[in-house]
Structures are given as structure tokens and as C-alpha cells.
């Protein structure tokens, strides 16, 4: 039936090139194509959109929402699972994509329409309607490069919503232009719904999701975390956001994580002297970091590592089991690895901890949590500047200088 969308255990993998071998020479010499990390932006994602309904997809940045939309639009292709899309799709992924700056608005309507697979005579029929909707009639015969970005976006929206499609995909574009135009867009979308067309809306604007959608799903870390009535799902999302704000050590869970996940980090914690989780330290305190892992597939000779970065991005410290000559062999199905240091010799400041599991040559990353754990170091009195604290003492003219009486 036209308008039905089904996702059946859909997975999508992206490659992040650390050092891309764009040249053939390098590829031949090293006999492999670039050093890249693979990560699954979507993992076994399943959902269904019934014909004539509106689905809202929400989730934190990097959760895979837009990827899901591009999969429906057939711009991307899945690495696993099955996608069924029935009917003609019109996608508003980025308004004005494919506009030619030297072409006039009118010429661009034809060019853009052709890009959407429309016939010239069909566009000619709709031309007036499109120009009228965009509200840029006086400028329609000027080159698009003379348009403001708002005008260009309005023209893009006008073209996309005046296409006869069964499915309309919208990605964060409702915040277009002024209030009057936004209202026009909303009205047009409502009309779409009234005509029984299917809509998928990806948005951070929870109000829009509540207002327009019959159902909503919350995507996080590549899978559906919640599905149901928009009020419930947006409520759940807000609760998640609030929880993260209250637990700063988890605040960055939406931040970068990548890897094949053959071995997964299930938890990473910093422990203080008493063996309890702790995220505020004094310079010189003992430090322990516990990395809990789980093996999804057998992994040999893994390397566990940590890295500390200052909040402003300065790379401060890294350590790993490989550098210490530790051969792990076959990794247990699950377990934990503990890093300990007698003194945390970092100077005062805010820091972020990264933890990772890689293979022996650091070529394959199994799981990498990039700067996902934040902690603070305080330093009473002695801080003068820099990153490290060297526990300094001073001799002035041969005599040990003692700190000023305080």
C-alpha cells in the first residue's frame, strides 16, 4: 500500500577515516585502504510507519535520526536488514539543494523539479502555485545567488511540498524564515496529512513532533529506545536529558563513540581512594579507572587504553596495556580492567577521560568512548599554571624555602 514504510532490523555502518589514503600509491604500498574506524550508527533498527500517518523521530545528536531518514529516501543503503518503502518519496533534507546560483529562481524550479524526477509540463502546471507559496514573485527572474538564504529556503520548501508524493520526509527544516512562513509550512504539512499522506519528521523541536505526529520514536545509540504516543516519547526524551544533566559523568553519552563493538565497553568509572566512583579529585590523589567490558565476538590480543584531555582540547596523557607490554590473549566473555596510578599529577582544571579497546596494532577499534567522562581536579594553593603538577620544592640560597605562613 502506498505510503507504508517498514524497517526490519536495519543496520548502517559508517567509516571514519583517521588517515585517508586517497591516493592509489599509498593504497598499493600499504596494501590496504586507509586506516579507518567503523562504527554502527544504526543497529537492528526496526519500526513501521502506516500509510497516512505522521511519525516523529527524536533523539540526541549523532543518534542516527538523519541517517534513518536518508535510508528511507534511498540516498544511503543499509549494511544489514531490510527496508520497505512504498510510494513516491519527497525529501526535505536540505532546502535548496541543487540550486544553481547563476540560474534564476524560475530556472531553478525546473532544475530542482527535474532532480525530484518531475516532468517539465507538470512543473509548468505547478509553477504559479510554487512561486506564490514561496512568496518571492518579484524576484523570481533574478539569479538565485542574489537571494537571501531565507528566500532560497522558502523556494526550496515550496518546490518540495508541491510535488505529488506519497511520503514526505522532513529534517529539521521547519524553522525556516519568519513566523508567517513557518505557519504556512505547518498548514501545508497539515494539508498533507489530511490528504492521507505519510510524513516522517526528524526534529529537535519537540512541540512540532507533539503537534504533527501520530506516533513518535526515540532513537539513541542506533536503536529504538522508546516508541508510542508523541507525548510519552517526548516526555521520556526530556527525562533522559534531565537525568544526564544531573549526572555530569554521563553528560556526554551522546558524544562520540565508535568501533566495531566486537568487544564493548559496558562501563567506565573513575574511583577515588575509598574505591567509590568519584569525579572530583585533588592534585596528587590516587586514581583508579575501571573499564568493564563484554565480548560479543571472540577477540584476541586486545589493548585497553585511556587518555585524558583537558576540557579545552589539550591532550594531556595516554596509557595503554600494549605500551606496558601486557599481552592479554583471548579476552574473557566479560570482565574488567583496572588502571591505577598512585598520584594524579594533573594541575587544576576540567578534564575529560577517553577509554578504548583496540586490537594489538591499533588498527581496529573495537570500542572507543571519546571524552565521555568528565572530571575536575582541584589544587589547593600551589597552582601556578600549566597542565602537570610536579610536586615542586624550592631552595633559595641553599636553604629550603618554606611556604609562607598561612
Residue 79 vs 190, nearer CB to other proteins: 79
Answer for the pair 49, 1: CB distance below 8 angstroms, yes or no.
no
For residue 215, give the C-alpha cell. Answer: 506516533
> Considering only residues 272-301, where is the footprint of other proteins by CB under 8 A?
none
Q: How far apart are CA 207 and CA 147, in angstroms?
A: 30
Residue 88 vs 244, nearer CB to other proteins: 88
Q: How far apart are CA 204 and CA 184, in angstroms?
A: 20
CB of residue 101 to other proteins, shortest distance in Å:
10
Dihedral through CA 151, CA 152, CA 155, CA 157, nearest 10?
Answer: -110
> Which of these ranges, 70-78, 240-248, 256-264, 326-334, lies near other proteins under the rule CB under 8 A?
70-78
CB of residue 6 to other proteins, shortest distance in Å:
18
Interface with other proteins (CB under 8 A), residue total 33
CB of residue 253 to other proteins, shortest distance in Å:
24
Answer for the pair 159, 168: CB distance below 8 angstroms, yes or no.
no
Residue 165 vs 352, nearer CB to other proteins: 165
**Going by C-beta distance under 8 Å and a sequence separation of 6 or more, which residues neighbour residue 352?**
252, 308, 309, 310, 311, 371, 372, 373, 374, 375
> Considering only residues 14-43, where is the footprint of other proteins by CB under 8 A?
14-15, 22-25, 27, 33
Residue 103 vs 317, nearer CB to other proteins: 103
Residue 102 vs 178, nearer CB to other proteins: 102
> Considering only residues 139-168, where is the footprint of other proteins by CB under 8 A?
none
Residue 108 vs 352, nearer CB to other proteins: 108
CB of residue 252 to other proteins, shortest distance in Å:
25
CB of residue 22 to other proteins, shortest distance in Å:
4
> Which of these ranges, 68-76, 250-258, 323-331, 391-399, lies near other proteins under the rule CB under 8 A?
68-76
Quick one: which of 383, 344, 381, 352 has its CA closest to 369? 352
Answer for the pair 168, 92: CB distance below 8 angstroms, yes or no.
yes
Task: State residue 330 phi and psi, 5-degree precision.
Answer: -70, 125
CB of residue 164 to other proteins, shortest distance in Å:
12
CB of residue 208 to other proteins, shortest distance in Å:
21
CB of residue 12 to other proteins, shortest distance in Å:
9
CB of residue 275 to other proteins, shortest distance in Å:
45
Pairing of strands 365-378, 280-282: parallel
Residue 118 vs 217, nearer CB to other proteins: 118
Helix H or strand E encompassing 157: helix 149-161
How many CB atoms sit inside 10 A of residue 31's CB?
Answer: 7
Angle between helices 149-161 and 179-194 (to 10 degrees): 10
Residue 103 vs 186, nearer CB to other proteins: 103
Angle between helices 105-115 and 120-134 (to 10 degrees): 130
CB of residue 21 to other proteins, shortest distance in Å:
8
Applying CB under 8 A, which of residues 65, 70, 257, 371 lies at the interface with other proteins?
70
**Going by C-beta distance under 8 Å and a sequence separation of 6 or more, which residues neighbour residue 208?**
56, 174, 201
Quick one: which of 5, 184, 158, 30 has its CA closest to 95? 158
Answer for the pair 251, 245: CB distance below 8 angstroms, yes or no.
yes
Residue 114 vs 382, nearer CB to other proteins: 114
> Considering only residues 316-355, where is the footprint of other proteins by CB under 8 A?
none
> Considering only residues 72-131, where is the footprint of other proteins by CB under 8 A?
73-77, 89, 91, 93-94, 97-98, 100, 102-103, 110-111, 114-120, 122
Which residue, chain included where needed, has cell 543518534? 63
SS3 213: coil
Residue 234 vs 260, nearer CB to other proteins: 260
**Would you tell me which residues interact with other proteins (CB under 8 A)?**
14-15, 22-25, 27, 33, 70, 73-77, 89, 91, 93-94, 97-98, 100, 102-103, 110-111, 114-120, 122
Amino acid at each position: 500500500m502506498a505510503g507504508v514504510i517498514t524497517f526490519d532490523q536495519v543496520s548502517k555502518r559508517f567509516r571514519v577515516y583517521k588517515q585517508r589514503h586517497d591516493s592509489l600509491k599509498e593504497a598499493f604500498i600499504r596494501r590496504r585502504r586507509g586506516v579507518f574506524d567503523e562504527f554502527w550508527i544504526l543497529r537492528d533498527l526496526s519500526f513501521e510507519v502506516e500509510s497516512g500517518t505522521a511519525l516523529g523521530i527524536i533523539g540526541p545528536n549523532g543518534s542516527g535520526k538523519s541517517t534513518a531518514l536518508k535510508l528511507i529516501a534511498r540516498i544511503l543503503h543499509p549494511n544489514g536488514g531490510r527496508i520497505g518503502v512504498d510510494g513516491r518519496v519527497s525529501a526535505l533534507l536540505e532546502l535548496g539543494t541543487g540550486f544553481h546560483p547563476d540560474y534564476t529562481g524560475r530556472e531553478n524550479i525546473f532544475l530542482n523539479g527535474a532532480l525530484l524526477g518531475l516532468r517539465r509540463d507538470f512543473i509548468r502546471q505547478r509553477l504559479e502555485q510554487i512561486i506564490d507559496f514561496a512568496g518571492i514573485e518579484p524576484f523570481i527572474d533574478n539569479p538565485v545567488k542574489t537571494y537571501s538564504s531565507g528566500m532560497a529556503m522558502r523556494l526550496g520548501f515550496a518546490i518540495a511540498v508541491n510535488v505529488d508524493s506519497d511520503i514526505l520526509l522532513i529534517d529539521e527544516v521547519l524553522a525556516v524564515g519568519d513566523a508567517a512562513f513557518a505557519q504556512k509550512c505547518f498548514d501545508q504539512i497539515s494539508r498533507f496529512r489530511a490528504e492521507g499522506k505519510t510524513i516522517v519528521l526528524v526534529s529537535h523541536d519537540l512541540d512540532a513532533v507533539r503537534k504533527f505526529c501520530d506516533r513518535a520514536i526515540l532513537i539513541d545509540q542506533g536503536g529504538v529506545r522508546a516508541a508510542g504516543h508523541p507525548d510519552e516519547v517526548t516526555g521520556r526524551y526530556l527525562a533522559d536529558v534531565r537525568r544526564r544533566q544531573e549526572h555530569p559523568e554521563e553528560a556526554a553519552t551522546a558524544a562520540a563513540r565508535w568501533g566495531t563493538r566486537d568487544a564493548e565497553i559496558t562501563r567506565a568509572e573513575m574511583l577515588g581512594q575509598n574505591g567509590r566512583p568519584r569525579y572530583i579529585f585533588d592534585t596528587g590523589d590516587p586514581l583508579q579507572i575501571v573499564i568493564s567490558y563484554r565480548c560479543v565476538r571472540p577477540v584476541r590480543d586486545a589493548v585497553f587504553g585511556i587518555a585524558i584531555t583537558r576540557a579545552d582540547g589539550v591532550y594531556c596523557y595516554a596509557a595503554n596495556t600494549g605500551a606496558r607490554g601486557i599481552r592479554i590473549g583471548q579476552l574473557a566473555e566479560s570482565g574488567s580492567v583496572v588502571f591505577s596510578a598512585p598520584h594524579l599529577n594533573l594541575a587544576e582544571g576540567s578534564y575529560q577521560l577517553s577509554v578504548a579497546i583496540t586490537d594489538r596494532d591499533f588498527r581496529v577499534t573495537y570500542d572507543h568512548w571519546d571524552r565521555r567522562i568528565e572530571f575536575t581536579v582541584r589544587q589547593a594553593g600551589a597552582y601556578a599554571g600549566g597542565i602537570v603538577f610536579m610536586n615542586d620544592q624550592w631552595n633559595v640560597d641553599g636553604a629550603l624555602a618554606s611556604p609562607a605562613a598561612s
